[in-house]
Structure 1
Amino acid sequence: MLAIFVAFVAVWQLVYSFGLVSRIILPSPLETAEEIVAIGANMLSGGYLLASFRVTAKEVLIGFLIAVALGFGLGVLVGETKLGERAVLPYLVAIDTMPKVAFAPIFISWLGFGISSKVALAAFIATFPIVVGTAAGLHAADENARMLFKTMGASRWQTLFKLKIPTGMPHLFTGLKIAAIGVVAGAITAEFVGGGQGFGHLIRTASSQLSTPRVFALIIYLSLLGLATFWSVVWIQHRFVFWHKDGTRRGQPGE
């Protein structure tokens, strides 16, 4: 993994040195590293960048929690009822196929320029993968196990909570991991369109000033936020679904 990183930086430096891409667009690795250090120092000292990062992190966290609640509820509705499968799912699929960035102005006009519109778009983008993961998980239970529960007189709720949900947890966490990445994109997109005090607004400002090293550095910090969200979900999965082995345990993100 270190060798890949070194090779990437070397290619980046060569592209910059030979002027294959305009230096206004592509900064050097050294300039980007200097901005990363400067931003980190500002955050460690409690400066304005720390406050901005907290705003974006708050939007991501709240948006993700709302997406989990909505996604799980809708996933159970779709996976457990004919009404959900036939009437609700087609609408969810139709909405998910629409370009998400187009909803940013709508949420801003509804909820204003504050944190609410950013949270709403973040949750909106992250909800559908959780719906799909939950619904798929509810159908993952073995038919023999279902028949056994039915033979023993288990109610529909007992079958749901004691068989289908535990069996479908790996599928649910697959959706959660996809959502953990999408929720950051949703929050940043809303900040691009609606301003605010987060890192998305800082990236837009730095880009307008042609400060590409700062843009690259801010993007890297946002990627770290996304990675932290993703690996938090992976850690929770390994704690509560320890019996299921997936690619993330072997260092490969994803199922």
Structure 2
Amino acid sequence: MTIATDRQHEFPETVWTQRVSLINRLPQPVAITLLVFAILAIWQLVALSGTVSPIILPSPARTAQDIVEVGASLFTGGYVFGAFLITLQEVIISFLMATAIGATLGMIVGGTAFGERALMPVIVAIDTMPKVAFAPLFLSWLGFGIASKVALATFIALFPIIVGAAAGLHAADENARMLFRSIGATPWQTLVRLRIPMGLPHFFTGLKIAAIGVVGGAITGELVGGGQGFGALIRVAASQLDTPRVFSLICYLSVMGLMTFGLVAWVQRRFVFWHRSSSIGNG
């Protein structure tokens, strides 16, 4: 009798393992839909039980009604649309700045001994500091306009891009580097034709993390330092105990984050078409 047969006798297949196997075979859209419905059902049961005040946790139906109202203002050019444009502007500018600065610092960290030994420890030390604590500093330096929000969002999105770019430069294995040295390639040629192309998947991983973080950074800046974007609408709704409106605005912010994440994932599929993995966002 083989070891596999012994294990089958020792651990016979149960109904539970059959159910787990069935769940694993579900298509991803179906699995996501079922999970969302389960969360909404639990949410509705809690709201109907009366154990939590509707001011703290409104029902899904009440929240859905407010989502429709916010969407009507958003898609008809109302005040929500104006706030959305302001926050979107902050997100785009911050993401572009973080990409440029992060890629440059990542190249220095991953490509030079000075960057790896001196610059990287300083960057890590700065990244361990709470980002929200820098918001008053950016406000005092740059004022209450859009510049302080862009600075905070850029600051929050920088670190994953730096790490992704630096890690990408080390992605090429030693055999590939030896091959380039054997054919007389210069360090610049090795960088452009080997290390950067091989490191693009790592770089885009950092970009996708930053694409989500930059939205949170912009909203944090608006909540702390005023402004006229979605953060201001959330602050006003929270001060009026309008919890459904807060939930609605958060849902549309989630859509904004998904839009930026999806855009980065689309660019990755177009320019790194030769790389396929099971990581999130690679399709």
Q: Find the structure with the greater CA-based Rg.
A: 2
For residue 154 of structure 1, give the secondary structure of its aligned residue in structure 2.
Answer: coil
Question: Deviation of residue 22 (structure 1)?
Answer: 2.1
Of 60, 64, 72, the match for 2:95? 64
C-alpha separation in 2, matches of 1:27 and 1:246: 40
Mapping of residues 140-155 of structure 1, within 5 Å:
140-155=171-186
C-alpha separation in 2, matches of 1:20 and 1:242: 52
For residue 247 of structure 1, give the secondary structure of its aligned residue in structure 2.
Answer: coil
For residue 188 of structure 1, give the secondary structure of its aligned residue in structure 2.
Answer: helix
Say whether 1:224 aligns with 2:261: no
Task: Give the residue type in structure 1 aligned to 2:241.
Answer: L
C-alpha separation in 1, matches of 2:231 and 2:188: 43
Task: Give 1:110's aligned residue.
Answer: 141
Contact map agreement 1:174 1:254 (CA 8 A) in 2: no
Of 114, 127, 134, the match for 1:96? 127
C-alpha separation in 2, matches of 1:237 and 1:167: 13
Mapping of residues 82-93 of structure 1, within 5 Å:
82-93=113-124
Contact map agreement 1:60 1:183 (CA 8 A) in 2: yes
Contact map agreement 2:161 2:210 (CA 8 A) in 1: yes
Task: Give 1:79's aligned residue.
Answer: 110
Task: Give the residue type in structure 2 aligned to 1:93.
Answer: V
Task: Give 2:84's aligned residue.
Answer: 53
C-alpha separation in 1, matches of 2:109 and 2:67: 45
For residue 144 of structure 1, give the secondary structure of its aligned residue in structure 2.
Answer: helix
Any idea what the Cα deviations from partners look like across 1:96-130, whole Å, max 9, x if unmatched? 00001001111111111000111111110001001
Question: Deviation of residue 225 (structure 1)?
Answer: 0.3
Runs of 4+ in 1 over 6 A off after TM superposition: none
Task: Give unpaired runs (5+ residues) of structure 1.
Answer: none
For residue 122 of structure 2, give the secondary structure of its aligned residue in structure 1.
Answer: helix
Question: Deviation of residue 155 (structure 1)?
Answer: 1.6
Of 92, 109, 120, the match for 2:151? 120
C-alpha separation in 1, matches of 2:125 and 2:267: 31
Mapping of residues 1-255 of structure 1, within 5 Å:
1-248=32-279, 252-253=280-281
C-alpha separation in 2, matches of 1:24 and 1:254: 40
Question: Deviation of residue 44 (structure 1)?
Answer: 1.6
Question: Deviation of residue 26 (structure 1)?
Answer: 0.7
Task: Give the residue type in structure 2 aligned to 1:53.
Answer: F
Task: Give the residue type in structure 2 aligned to 1:49.
Answer: V
Contact map agreement 2:180 2:190 (CA 8 A) in 1: yes
Contact map agreement 1:177 1:254 (CA 8 A) in 2: no
Contact map agreement 2:153 2:218 (CA 8 A) in 1: yes
Question: Deviation of residue 8 (structure 1)?
Answer: 1.1
For residue 98 of structure 1, give the secondary structure of its aligned residue in structure 2.
Answer: coil
Per the normalisation by structure 1, the TM-score is: 0.96
C-alpha separation in 2, matches of 1:44 and 1:225: 14
Q: What CA RMSD, in Å, does the superposition of the two structures yield over aligned residues?
A: 1.3
Question: Deviation of residue 222 (structure 1)?
Answer: 0.2
Contact map agreement 1:39 1:49 (CA 8 A) in 2: yes
Task: Give unpaired runs (5+ residues) of structure 2.
Answer: 1-31
C-alpha separation in 2, matches of 1:38 and 1:9: 20
Q: 1:135 to 1:194 in 2, by over 3 A?
A: same
C-alpha separation in 2, matches of 1:138 and 1:84: 13
Task: Give the residue type in structure 2 aligned to 1:142.
Answer: D
Question: Deviation of residue 20 (structure 1)?
Answer: 2.8
Task: Give the residue type in structure 1 aligned to 2:251.
Answer: I
Any idea what the Cα deviations from partners look like across 1:173-219, whole Å, max 9, x if unmatched? 11111111110110000001001000011101100000000000000
For residue 242 of structure 1, give the secondary structure of its aligned residue in structure 2.
Answer: coil
Question: Deviation of residue 254 (structure 1)?
Answer: 7.7
